[in-house]
Structure 1
């Protein structure tokens, strides 16, 4: 039972962190978000969520059914978000391991960390989760994160996020 090694099936869904400070520009103009579905959810007062998601096809990324079903390699999701202090919760991560029909949920993970309130705003926080022994049938990883925005007269203050990744680790 050796240690897990990152495999060739690491899927980096990197996105650049938008620049700091308020902006009038839409998020899509601030970086390369190819592959991401992006929408905005309005909240009360001047707050909103930016919701970004994508569905990773594990077979298209080079894995095969027998490997996923029999070996069930660890699937790690990782993300970094800025503790912007725009609200008590500025970030959420939702991940589903899906069957071939893209609807049947085999495993899932949800987290909505609260700000610590310590130290200056703007430090980066890592969020990660490892799916283990999830059972047969996984073919897709649906990755969705939400970041809080605040609209001010000078523009939109965004909670930045970067280095989102999905990776698959084989065990020796």
Structure 2
């Protein structure tokens, strides 16, 4: 198949109407890379769960847990850069002279990835002139360990990996008055952003609690996908 035939195949397969398609692009190689519609994040479900089934119910501990407290959940975090931040005790609610047997200790657990858009098959003219929709999706567990249990920050970065071209931040607040243990979706579409985007930095933080046992907040089916469309131009 000739170079022009591969180019035409890519155009027809992905519906690339109005998208710059320069001859400098290896369209045969690009066709195999499948840059559109697939999840560009690696290991999107590090806890081995899916949002299509209910999250597991927490295990309740009848006796105090011996040993140091836990601050990190279990999972396979391959391809993720992880870190934790232990939150100091909030003693403001303890009355003077009060005695506390067990007090919750909270921590943030962070997972992040950097997606190289050109390495994933996207080309300069597409990113700078057409600016396709970049769809961000995430599912977090409504663990109810605290009123603030989840944060998501996604940045579109320039070639230097430092310049922020566009940014999305989610910091939802949970309703603790009614028990509702389910998955909650976070969805955002980057569109109409300025030229120069080369990387997507994906970072989410999950709040965990330790008190007579470890109670994590889980996440699953995280995704960054590119659509051959532009919805805000």
Instruction: Give the TM-score normalised by structure 1.
Output: 0.86
The match for 1:117 among 157, 170, 176 is 176
Local SS of the residue matching 2:228: strand
What is aligned with 1:38?
Answer: 82
Mark the structure with the bigger radius of gyration: 2
Query: Partners of 2:57 and 2:218 in 1: how far apart?
Result: 8
Distance 1:20 1:100, change over 3 A: farther
**Offset, 1:58:** 0.5
Find out whether 1:163 has 2:221 as its counterpart: yes
**Can you list the C-alpha shifts for 1:46-69, whole angstroms capped at 9, x where unaligned?**
000001101111111111111111
**Can you list the C-alpha shifts for 1:31-82, whole angstroms capped at 9, x where unaligned?**
3321100000111320000011011111111111111111100001110001
Q: Which structure would you say has the larger RCO, counting Cα contacts within 8 Å and 6 or more residues apart?
A: 1
**Offset, 1:25:** 9.1
Find out whether 1:87 has 2:117 as its counterpart: no
Name the structure where helix makes up a greater proportion of residues.
2
**Offset, 1:117:** 3.2
**Does structure 2 retain, via aligned residues, the 8 Å contact 1:11–1:166?**
yes
The match for 1:77 among 136, 143, 158 is 136
What is aligned with 2:39?
Answer: 10
Instruction: Give the TM-score normalised by structure 2.
Output: 0.65
The number of residues matched between the two structures is 165
CA RMSD of aligned residues (A): 2.4
**Does structure 2 retain, via aligned residues, the 8 Å contact 1:97–1:106?**
yes
Which portions of structure 1, spanning 4 or more consecutive aligned residues, are displaced by more than 4 angstroms?
A: 22-26
Name the structure where strand makes up a greater proportion of residues.
1
**Offset, 1:17:** 3.1
